[in-house]
Structure 1
C-alpha cells in the first residue's frame, strides 16, 4: 500500500469512528463495567464468533450501528426508523444506546445497508446470528429469507439468491419477544424485575456476520472422545455430497499431524491416538483438527476445529457410594452459580476482555467448575473455558413457570409437574435440542441440566432419558434442586445458606450426590449496587471480614461432607445481579468481596 492510500485509509477509519461516537452513547444512569469505556461502537466484539469451525479470510462482522424502531405488533412493515442501536446489545441494555422495553404487544425492527466484499462475490453467502431473543424474521432487499424461534441458539440463512447486483444490500430484521407472557424458554427475564428476576432481553445479543462459502462446504462437525479406547470419533455434515468428493480428517498436536483418516460411508471417521494427553482443569490440553473437503485432489473447503481427550462418568467408591469421575478418577467439583449478566450489556459483555475476566478470576480463586445458570453463552465463552480448564455444568434456560415445587429429594410426586401446552412443550424440545447440538464439541461442558427447581419442569423422566440418550458422553442432572424422580445421574439438593447434602443411605448407591446451590451470602458495596436500597441476599453482612469468615466456615463444612459422599457443590454466586448482592464480585466487577489468595487456599483443600 502506498503512502497516499494509507493516509486515505486512516482518515476513513477516523471519520467512521467519529460518526459512530456521535450516533451512539450508552446510558450511564446505573452502574456499568470499566470495559464499557473500551467499547468501540464502530467495531464492537470484532472477534471471530465460531471457534469450533474456523475458516480464514472469508467472513465479515456486521456488528455496529444499525437503524432501529419499535412498532405495534400489528404493523407489518415500519414506515420510518427512530434512531441507531448498537448491535449486538439487547435493546433494553445501556450499551445498545436505546435502553427501552418492547413487550408482547410490540415488535423490534432492525435495518442495515451492507456491501458484499469483492472477494465474497460468486460464492454462497450465509448470514449468521449468534443469538436473537426470541422470534426472528429476516428480510434481504425486501424479501423474507426465513424465520427462527429461539433465544439461545445460533442460526443462519443462505441469502445468495436474495442479493441484488448492486453494491448496496438492505437487511431488515423483525423480532418479537413476549418475555413471560409467552411459553418460550427465557431464563431469568421478567417484565417487572424484582428479587432473583431480571431485566428483559429482546433482540440481537450475539454477533451478526456474513460468511462466503463454495458450492459444496462443510456445515458442521461432531467430535466425541473415548479415552478408554484411545479414539476420537469425528462426524461431518456437508451441505450436499458427491461420490467423487473425499473428506480428510487430521489430528494435530501443535504443528504436527499425528494421525489422519478419510470419512467412511457413514459420514464419520474414528481416529486412534497413542499416548494421548488427557484434558483436565490442571492440564487443559486441546488437540487441533483440520478437516478438508477434497475434489479431484484439490481442497474445495477446509475448516479448523479442536477437541479434548476427556471423560466424565460415574462410579462407586470403596464405600459403594456413587462418585462423579473425571478421566476415571474422582475429582470434587466446586464452582459458583453463574448467571452471566452484565449491568451495561445484560446478556452481552462489553468486550472479549470482560468475558474473560470472570473466568480468569474464578480460576484464580481456585474454583474448577462453573454452573452456567439458565442461560447459554457465546461460543467464544465455552472456547475460553476449554482453554482454561474450567468445567461447565450447563442449564437449559427455563420458561413457562407455575408448577409447584417440593424441594425435599426423595419424594416422587407426579402432581408437581407442569402441564404444558403443545406449543410450550415443542418450544422447549426444539431449543434444548439445538443447544445440545451447538455445544456438543466443547469439552469443558460435562453436565447437562434440563430443569432447575421445578421451573417449568414437565415429563421429567422422558426429558431426562431423552437427554441421556442424545448425549451419552456426558452426565445429566435431571432437575437441579427440583422435584425428584428416579431418573438421571444425580440427586441434587439446594440448601440456603449453609452446606448440606442428600442422604447417602437413601440415594448414594444409585446416584451422584451434589449440592446444586448453597450460600448466597450478601454484602452490598456502596457505589457499586444496581439500586441504592432494598438490595437482597440470603444472609447479609456489613464487612468483607465478616463475609469471608462465614464463607470459610462453609468451606470447612464441605470438607467434612466430601468423605461422606458429596461429589460436587455450587456456591451462589459469581457476581451481584441487579438487586441481588450475594456475589463474590460486585455487579460491575469493580470490587472482589473476598481475598483471592485466601479463597484459593481454602478451595484447594476440597480437591485433596
Structure 2
C-alpha cells in the first residue's frame, strides 16, 4: 500500500492540541491535563503553591507578592479588542499548551490569549510605588490594570516591569494580559518552538511562562545592579541603576533610568560579605560606579563555586530608604596561550577544558516552564552528577533562578541567543533588541562565561557586526559568533560560509555523531559546539510512544551506547591534546521526538549509570571537589534495570493483564515485533477500554494503528473527522481513513497476478464510505499505475484525482509531487497530463523550493513549449545546486533548444 508505506514521510511528528467543544468550555477547577509522560515533580504542583520561590535572586527584597496561581483565560480572534467572557481557568505561569496549565491548547497566530485576575492593593506608605513584574511572556504582551492599557511589551524571554501605582483601587483591582504569539510564523525569536513540530522542532510555549509578582518600593528605588568582578585588580565594580516612581514601564536595565532623577542627596552604601561577615564596605554618590576592593579573593570555579554576598542600600540625606541583597562570584574567563603556544579557554588564568552538554530546557509537563524550582535545579545537578562542568543553554533564556542554581552548584554556562524569527527588518530589529536585553539580564551571573550568537546558520546575518556588538555590550566574556556554522553529519560537510568565525573568540564545528576538531585560526580557541546524539529509547518514558526512536546514528541499546560514548570521549582526549578546548554533547535529556539524551525526557531514567559517565569523563575533567554536596538532589533509575523482553510482556498479556496503559504498550510492542495477531487484538481491547477516546493521546494512537475498516478505531475516525482534524491537524482523520479503506476495499484485489476492476472497487467503496471511498480508489489508481508503469492509465487518472483531491491534501507533499510530476515528464506526451504535472510542481514549490523540484518544473514547462519561462526556473535550480551535473546538463540543453526528455518510441 503506497500511502501506508510512505506514512513516516508524510505524517507530522507532533502537533499540540486542543480546541474543546462547547460543553468543555465551561470554567472548571484546575487539573493537570493528560499527557504521555510527566515528571516526578508534577504531582507536587497545586494552585495554592506555584513556584513560590523569590524569582530574582540577584536583587532581593524582603517583601513581595506572588501572583502565580489560577487566572481566568479565554481565546479570541485577533480582531477582538476585548473578550466578552472568560471560558476557564489556567495555572500561571505554565504555557497554555502544557499539561500543567490545566488547558493544553494550541494558540494560533491569528488568535489572542487573554488572562485575567484580581488583586487588592497592598499596604503602602505615602509616596511608595507598586511594581508589577513579569518574568517572561511569549511573545507580545499588552497589560491592562483596571481597564487601562499600560504597556505593550515584545520579547518572549525578557523580564519587564510596570509601575501600576497610579491605576490602583483599594480593592478588587483587575489585571488583564493580552498575548499574541505567532511562534515560528512571525518576527519573534522563538528558539525550537514550532506550530507544527517536525524533526528537531518542539511544541510551542505561548503566553505567561515565568513568575508574575509585585513589590512595594520607595519613589526612588534600586532598579538594577551591574556587577563586574576583576580578579587581577582584586576589585568588584558596582553600577546601581535608580528607578523613578511613575514610569510606566521598563524593559532594559540601563535605558531610561538615572534620567530625570534628582540624585544629589542620594548615596549608595555597599557591603561585601562572606556569609554575614562584612569583609569590605564602600559609600559613594548614587549614580556613580563604585569600585570595591576584594583583597585576596576567593575565586569562583566549578570545583569551588564560592559566592560573596552583597548588601546595597539607597540612602537619602543619611536615611536608608531602600535596601536589597545580591551576590557575585570572583572569576575571569579569557583566551590565552598554553605552555605549548595553543590558544585555549582559561578560567581565572588557568586552562580549563569545557566539558559540556547541550541543554534544551524543555519539560514534558510544563514545556518551557519547569514544574518546580526543585526540578529546575535538578537539571544542573544531573549534568554535574554525570561529570560535566559546562552546560550550553540552547537557544532559550531560562528564568533567573536557573542561573542562580548554576552559580551555586558550579556550572560553566554557554548562553545561546534565541535565533531571529524571520529574515526581515522587523525580525532583525527584534533580534538585536533582545541580544542587548539578554546580555544585560544575565550579566551578573558568574556561571555565564560565553555568549553564542548564531547556531548552524539559523537566521544568520551580519555576523561580524553583531559579534562585535556583543563584545561592546560585554567585554568580560567570550563570544562564540557562530556555533556549528561548519556542520558535519556522518562525515558529510554542509557548505560553510566565508569568514565563519570572524571577530569571534573561538572556531566552532558541529560533528554528528563522532567528534572532530574545529579549524585552527590565530588567537581563537578551537571548540566542538555539538556532537554525539546516540539514540536509546526507553519504553514507558517516551513523549510519543507512536514514533520510532531517533538518534543521529540510529538506535542502540545501553551497552552499545556505553561502547560508543567511551570511544567518543577517547577521541576527544586525542583532539584535546592537539588543541581542542571544549566539547558539547547532544544531549542530557530526551526531548519530545528525540531519544538521544543521557536521560529520558521525564528525568526518571538514566541510560548509563552516573558513576560510569563520571569515570568516562574523568579522562578530560576530574570529578569536582564539590561533587557530593552539589548532587544531593540527583536520583534516577538506570535503564538496564527496567527493560523487559517482548516475551516477558507477551506472557503477562496471555495470562490476563489488561490495564489500559499495558494494553497500549502491548499493542505497540507487538507491532514492533511483527506480531500482527496480538497487535490487532491489543489495539481493539485498548480502544474499547477508553473512557475518552477523543483526547489527543488516544486519537494519535487510534489514527496511527487503525489500518482497516473493521477496527473499532475506524468508527471513531469516520464519525469525528472535524473534531480529529482540530486536534491532530488538517487531513489527519482522512489520511487514516483512506489507509483503512485501501486495506479492505482495494489491497485484496490488487495482489500479484490479479487485474484490478477499478470500476467495481469504486462502486463498492463509494456505497460504503461516500466521497472518501472515491478518493481512495482514485488515489490508489494513480500510484498503482505509476508503480506498474501503466502510463496510459497514469496519464488519464492523474488529472481528475489531483484536481479534486490531491491539490488539497496535506499528505501530498513536495517529495511525492516531485515523483509524480517527473514520472509524467519522462513517460507522457499527453499535453493535458503534462499541464497538470506542471500545476502540481508549481504547488510543490510553494511548499518547498528544492532544487530537484525546480528542475522538474522547468523541464515540464520546457516540454510544454514554454522555453523562456523554463529557463528562468532552471537557472534557479542551478543556483541552488551548482554542483549538480544533471541539472546543469538540462540547463545547457534548454539553452540550445535540445530535448531534455527521453524518447518514448
TM-score when scaled to structure 1? 0.91
Aligned to 1:582: 596
Secondary structure of 1:126's partner?
Answer: strand
* Partner SS state of residue 457, structure 2: coil
Q: Is the contact made by 2:28 and 2:88 (CA closer than 8 Å) also made in structure 1? A: no
Aligned to 1:160: 165
Q: 2:411 corresponds to which residue?
A: 390
CA distance in 2, matches of 1:180, 1:553: 38
Out of 376, 396, 419, the residue aligned to residue 397 of structure 2 is: 376
| Match status 1:49 vs 2:55 | yes
Q: Distance between the aligned counterparts of 2:541 and 2:125, measured in 1?
A: 47
Distance 1:301 1:243 in 2: 16
1:606 partner SS: coil
- In structure 2, do the counterparts of structure 1 residues 569 and 120 end up closer, same or farther at CA, with 3 Å as the change threshold? farther
Tell me the equivalent position of 1:487: 503
For the 8 Å contact 1:450–1:477, the answer to whether it is kept is yes
Deviation of the 1:535 alpha carbon: 3.0
2:519 to 496, 503, 518: 503
In structure 1, how many angstroms separate the alpha carbons of the residues matched to 2:193 and 2:284? Answer: 44
Q: Retained in 1: the 8 A contact 2:266–2:286?
A: no
Q: For residue 152 of structure 1, give the secondary structure of its aligned residue in structure 2.
A: coil
Q: More displaced, 324-333 or 261-270?
A: 261-270
Q: Which one of 523, 527, 531 corresponds to residue 518 of structure 1?
A: 531
Q: Tell whether 2:35 aligns with 1:29.
A: yes
- Shift of the alpha carbon at 1:485? 3.8
Contact between 2:181 and 2:206, CA under 8 Å: does it hold in 1?
Answer: yes
**Which of the numbers 255, 266, 278 marks the counterpart of 1:245?**
266
| 1:530-562 alpha-carbon deviations (Å, 9 max, x no partner) | 112233211234421111111111111111111
Q: Which of 463, 471, 475 lines up with 1:472 in the alignment?
A: 475
Q: 1:341 aligns to what?
A: 362
Contact 2:240 2:287 in 1 (8 A): no
User: Counterpart in 1 of 2:761?
Assistant: none
Residue aligned with 2:440, SS = helix
Q: Distance in 1 between matches of 2:377 and 2:125?
A: 32
The alpha-carbon deviation at position 115 of structure 1 amounts to 1.3
Equivalent position SS for 1:193: coil
- Aligned partners of 1:265 and 1:524: how far apart in 2? 57
Name the larger-Rg structure. 2
Query: Residue 428 of structure 2 corresponds to which residue in structure 1?
Result: 425
Separation of aligned partners in 1, 2:351 and 2:603: 33
Matched, 1:457 2:460: yes
- DSSP 3-state at the match of 2:41: helix
Is the CA contact 2:463–2:502 (under 8 Å) kept in the aligned structure 1? no
2:298 corresponds to 1:277: yes
> Is 1:126–2:131 an aligned residue pair?
yes
Query: What TM-score do you get using the length of structure 2 for normalisation?
Result: 0.61
For 2:59 and 2:572, locate their aligned partners in 1 and report how far apart those are by CA, in whole Å. Answer: 40
Q: Select 1:201's aligned residue among 201, 205, 212.
A: 205
Q: CA deviation at 1:362?
A: 1.0
Structure-2 residue corresponding to 1:94: 99
8 Å Cα contact 1:128-1:154 kept in structure 2:
yes
Report the alpha carbon displacement of residue 343 of structure 1 after superposing the two structures with TM: 0.3
1:179 to 177, 183, 199: 183
1:216 aligns with 2:229: no
Determine the C-alpha separation between the residues in 2 that align with 1:242 and 1:206.
33
Q: Which has the higher helix share?
A: 2
Question: What is residue 13 of structure 1 aligned with on the other side?
Answer: none
- The 3 A distance-change label for structure 1 pair 373 and 308 is same
Is 1:82 the equivalent of 2:87?
yes
1:67 alignment partner, SS class? strand
Structure with the larger RCO, 1 or 2 (CA within 8 Å, 6+ apart): 1
Choose the corresponding residue for 2:69, options 59, 64, 72: 64
Deviations 1:543-588 (A, max 9, x none): 2111111111111111111110000000000110000000011001
Spell out, residue by residue over 1:314-367, the C-alpha distance to the aligned partner (whole angstroms, 9 max, x if none).
011233221000001100011110000000000001111111111111111110
- 2:608 is matched with 594
Q: In 1, distance between residues paired with 2:262 and 2:530? A: 48
- Aligned counterpart for 1:549 among listed residues 563, 572, 595: 563
Q: 1:105 maps to which residue?
A: 110
**Aligned partners of 2:430 and 2:37: how far apart in 1?**
35
Distance 2:458 2:242 in 1: 38
In the alignment, which residue of structure 1 is the partner of 2:252?
Answer: none
CA shift, 1:70, in A, is: 0.5
Secondary structure (helix, strand or coil) at the match of 1:235 reads strand
Matches of 1:450 and 1:67, distance apart in 2: 38
Misfit runs of 4+, over 6 Å: none
Match for 2:554 among 536, 540, 562? 540
> What are the ranges of 5 or more consecutive residues in structure 1 without an aligned counterpart?
1-20, 402-419
- Let me know the Cα RMSD of the aligned residues: 1.4
Secondary structure in structure 1 of the residue aligned to 2:619 = helix
- 1:294 is matched with 315
CA deviations over 1:495-515 (Å, ceiling 9, x no partner): 0000100233xx2x3211000
Q: Kindly tell me: are residues 459 and 503 of structure 1, through their superposed partners in 2, closer, same or farther at Cα, counting changes over 3 Å?
A: closer
1:329 counterpart (333, 350, 361): 350
- Are 1:147 and 2:152 matched, yes or no? yes
Q: Is the 8 A contact 1:92 1:99 kept in 2?
A: yes
- The CA distance in 2 between the partners of 1:265 and 1:300, in whole Å, is 13
1 CA distance for matches of 2:127 and 2:78? 37
Question: Is 2:241–2:287's contact at 8 Å kept on the other side of the alignment?
Answer: no
The partner residue of 1:236 within 233, 240, 243 is 240
| Mapped partners of 1:204, 1:400: distance in 2 | 19
User: How far off is 1:119 after superposition?
Assistant: 5.3
More strand by share: 1
Contact kept in structure 2, 1:541 and 1:547, CA below 8 Å? no
What secondary structure sits across from 2:598 in the alignment?
A: coil
Q: Is the contact made by 1:460 and 1:478 (CA closer than 8 Å) also made in structure 2?
A: yes
Structure-1 separation of matches of 2:139 and 2:542? 29
Counterpart contact for 1:468–1:488, Cα < 8 Å: no
Deviation at 1:475, TM superposition (A): 0.2
CA distance in 2, matches of 1:265, 1:114: 34
Q: Deviations over 1:481-534 (max 9, x none)?
A: 124142210100000000100233xx2x32110000000001010010111223
**Would the alpha carbon gap of residues 334 and 121 (structure 1) be closer, same or farther in structure 2, given more than 3 Å must change?**
farther
> Structure 1's 22 and 178: CA in aligned 2 closer, same or farther, altered over 3 A?
closer
